[in-house]
DNA sequence: CGAATTTTTGATTTATCTCAACAACCGTGG
DNA sequence: CCACGGTTGTTGAGATAAATCAAAAATTCG
């Protein structure tokens, strides 16, 4: 059977060397994503337990750190940067199933193998937990399990929205939905600009389109005065309401 | 704002009258889907607690019992029949996000409103739990929460596969994947026939295609000798391996 | 049986993809 | 600072898979 990993695709090393030392309690206590992550399920008094199970890991852009089909040895919590999650077909076609930003938990797979791959979009900082230590934490802190269920439920809702997008929306509706999602998930800079960390290729693989169609659609939106496409990956939303009705197919 | 519910679409009554009496402990003890459902998290000795929280509900074919956007007052466990879960756009385009059979749990939504609609495909039997009683059960039986997380993780894996299908597979690959999924999820009758409970329209809305494309693709598969399309909704898989390689795009 | 619904099949259109060329941008090193 | 090669993005022309429009055939159900 040929190796079909998308990581190879990127022509990067397959395995990632990561540190093994646990963290100090203060590291978690100070963590700026804890409030919005599963880690919030553990109180300050017990935070040492969490910290000693975690290993901080930095992943450089383009590096693949979860490979579809490999044994699911670790769970991850994103503390900064953006991760793309994807599935691929043997011939290389690829679907990005989601982008995970700070606070997102990765590795929710029942089976003992990852059902998807994960790759750093920009520089990504992660807290890594081994399967065994995670299991112990969940046994000792049931609140964490509840928090994880919330996280999973949120992801399911997002997945259902994405299925509607992929199955039934036009290219324009897809791009409009994407821009609004990105704008809602927060990262607007000083002057209303949305900084997209991912390439056109990533956007295309996320929306089930080709690079060319994404590019053409953004150009069309610019021509319509809905957005302004700046240098690099900066986009300004000029007509949010028009984009919103477009995203819901009301045009 | 116009009412855009998919239930109205089906021209069926909007609200469903359901019984309110709890069940006897034996009902749950005897239940044939308990082993494969979240209810397996509760032991025989405590099964009375589960039974008294449940209300048995029967839904006739085509009836909508969860409406997207309505307050999420209840959770459901399917005991027999098939349910379609869907999301819709204002203009009526519809995406079926999944089919739920016996043992499936419905209602995993974080928000206090349903993020999707649910409609009976054939005659469906459900156990209904109110949000409040479910909350109490989860507080008293943490194993149930863990079981629910497993369920959610399984659904996430299925959702990721469906995103790959909708975003990147051709019509033939989609139909092949669908037939194999249906065959794996069990219901083969006495002579290897797969009985699909859903219409061509449902299949189309699930696969992000039109009715005509689904029909044409099934005809093509029949002409290729891959399947036999019997009366009603019966299909026999004649060349499973060809379908499998087709489903993964290896053709 | 006969009306209504669903499915199949055919002809044509179209949104998006593919192929191709060019332009903009990025980092590197002279 | 600018020249350079490589990568990424844009735009154009043409091809195509699937959608749409239309009608016939099969099935369901009263």
Residue of A2, A163, A166 for testing the chain B interface, max B β-carbons within 10 Å: A163
- Give the pLDDT means over successive 10-residue stretches in chain B (251 positions): 35 43 80 94 93 93 95 95 97 97 89 94 95 93 93 96 98 98 84 91 98 98 95 91 96 71
Residues B175 and B158 in one domain: no
> Chain D positions under 7 Å from a protein CB?
8-13, 17-22, 27-28
Do A206 and A178 form a contact (C-beta atoms < 8 A)? Answer: yes
Q: Measured CA to C1', what is the nucleotide nearest B173? A: D17
Residue A1 lies in a domain: no
Same domain, B29 and B14: yes
B129 CA, C4 C1': Å apart = 39
* Residues A139 and A221 placed together within one structural domain of the fold: no
Residue B16 lies in a domain: yes
Q: What is the predicted pLDDT for the residue at B19?
A: 52
- Clarify whether residues A155 and A92 are in a common domain: yes
When divided into structural domains, chain A yields a total of 2
Query: Is residue A215 scored above 50 in pLDDT?
Result: yes
Res. A20: pLDDT tops 80: no
pLDDT of residue A14: 34
pLDDT digits (tens, 9 = 90+) for A116-165: 999 999 999 999 999 999 999 999 999 999 999 999 999 999 999 999 99
| A163, A197, A229 - which closes a domain | A163
Distance A65 CA to D16 C1' (A): 37
Name which of B91, B92, B164 to mutate to probe chain A: the one with the most chain A Cβ atoms within 10 A of its Cβ.
B164
* Same domain assignment for residues B25 and B141: yes
Minimum CA–CA partner of B108 in chain A: A153
Quick check: B108 contacting A, CB < 8 Å?
A: yes
A149 touches chain B (CB under 8 A): yes
Q: What angle do CA A241, A246, A249 make, to 5 degrees?
A: 135
Residue found by looking up tokens 């509900």 in the block: B57
In a domain, B191, yes or no: yes
Query: CA-CA distance, A69 to A1, in Å (whole number)?
Result: 13
Q: Tell me whether A95 touches chain B (CB under 8 Å).
A: yes
HEC sequence for A119-136: EECCCEEEEEEEHHHHHH
The confidence score (pLDDT) of residue B21 equals: 63
The pLDDT value recorded for residue B161 is: 98
For the packed helices B171-184 and B200-207, what is the interaxial angle rounded to 10 degrees?
A: 110
Residues 172-211 of B with CB under 8 A from A: 205, 207-208
Is residue A15's pLDDT more than 50? no
B110 and B149 inside one domain: yes
Q: Which residue is nearest to nucleotide D26 (CA to C1')?
A: B231
Residue that is last in its domain, among B147, B163, B179: B163
Please give the structure tokens belonging to residue A220.
């069309």
In a domain, A194, yes or no: yes
Q: For residues B30 and B47, state if they share a domain.
A: yes
Q: Do both A138 and A180 map to the same domain?
A: no
* Residue A208: domain span: 169-247
Same domain, A181 and A60: no
B51's enclosing H/E stretch is: helix B47-53
pLDDT at residue A1 above 50? no
Q: To the nearest 10°, the Cα dihedral for B233, B238, B239, B244?
A: 30
**Closest in A109, A142, A163 to B166, CB measured:** A163
**How many Cβ pairs closer than 8 A exist between chain A and B?**
131
Residue owning tokens 């309505």 = B70
Is B24 in contact with B51 (CB distance < 8 Å)? yes
Question: In this structure, is the CB of residue B200 within 7 Å of any atom belonging to strand C?
Answer: yes
Q: Do B159 and A157 touch (CB under 8 A)?
A: no
- Residue B36 forms contact with A (CB below 8 Å): no
Mean pLDDT of A206-217: 98
Q: Tell me which of B105, B134, B163 is where a domain ends.
A: B163
Is residue A23 in some structural domain?
yes
Q: Is the domain of A140 the same as that of A186?
A: no
B62 and B186 co-located in one domain: no
Phi-psi region of B209 (alpha: psi -120 to 50; beta: other; left: phi over 0): beta
Residue B24 neighbours by CB distance under 10 Å: 13
Candidate from A116, A167, A169 with C-beta closest to B160: A116
Q: Are A177 and A139 in contact (CB under 8 A)?
A: no
Domain contains B1 = no
Degrees to nearest 5, angle at CA A183 with A182 and A189: 115
Residues A156 and A177 placed together within one structural domain of the fold: no
pLDDT for position A230: 87
pLDDT at site B7: 42
The answer to the question of residue B238 being in a domain is yes
User: Under 8 Å CB-to-CB from B205, ≥6 apart: which residues?
Assistant: A167, B86, B94, B95, B96
Q: What mean pLDDT do residues A232-238 have?
A: 90
CA gap B190, B188 in Å, rounded: 7
What residue of B is the nearest CA neighbor of A168? Answer: B208
Residue B178 lies in a domain: yes
- The helices-and-strands tally (H runs, E runs) of chain A is 9, 11
Report the distance separating Cα A48 and Cα A29, nearest Å: 9
Give the CATH number of the domain where residue B222 resides: 1.10.10.10
- With the C-alpha atoms ordered B200, B201, B203, B209, is the resulting torsion angle positive or negative? positive
For B170, residues 6+ apart whose C-beta sits below 8 A from its C-beta are B249
Q: What is the pLDDT of residue B5?
A: 37
pLDDT reading at A31 higher than 80: yes
**Looking at residue A135, which CATH number applies to its domain?**
2.60.120.10
């Amino acid at each position: 059977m040929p190796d079909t990993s998308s990581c190879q695709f990127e022509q990067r090393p397959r395995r990632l060397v990561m540190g093994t030392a646990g963290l100090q309690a203060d590291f978690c206590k100070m963590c700026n994503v804890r409030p919005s992550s599963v880690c919030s399920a553990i109180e300050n008094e017990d935070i040492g337990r969490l910290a000693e199970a975690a290993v901080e890991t930095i992943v450089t852009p383009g590096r693949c750190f979860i490979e579809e089909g490999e044994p699911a040895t670790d769970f991850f919590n994103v503390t900064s940067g953006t991760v793309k999650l994807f599935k691929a077909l043997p011939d290389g076609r690829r679907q990005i199933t989601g982008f995970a930003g700070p606070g997102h938990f990765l590795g929710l797979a029942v089976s003992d193998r990852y059902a998807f791959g994960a790759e750093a979009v920009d520089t990504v900082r992660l807290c890594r937990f081994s399967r065994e230590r995670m299991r112990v934490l969940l046994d000792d802190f049931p609140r964490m399990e509840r928090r994880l269920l919330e996280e999973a439920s949120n992801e399911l809702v997002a997945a259902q929205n994405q299925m509607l997008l992929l199955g039934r929306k036009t290219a324009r509706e897809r791009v409009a939905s994407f821009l609004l999602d990105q704008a809602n998930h927060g990262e607007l800079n000083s002057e209303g600009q949305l900084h997209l960390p991912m390439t056109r290729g990533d956007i295309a693989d996320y929306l089930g389109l080709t690079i060319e169609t994404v590019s053409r659609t953004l150009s069309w939106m610019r021509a319509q005065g809905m957005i302004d496409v700046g240098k690099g990956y900066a986009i300004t939303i000029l007509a949010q309401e028009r984009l919103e009705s477009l995203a819901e197919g009301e045009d």
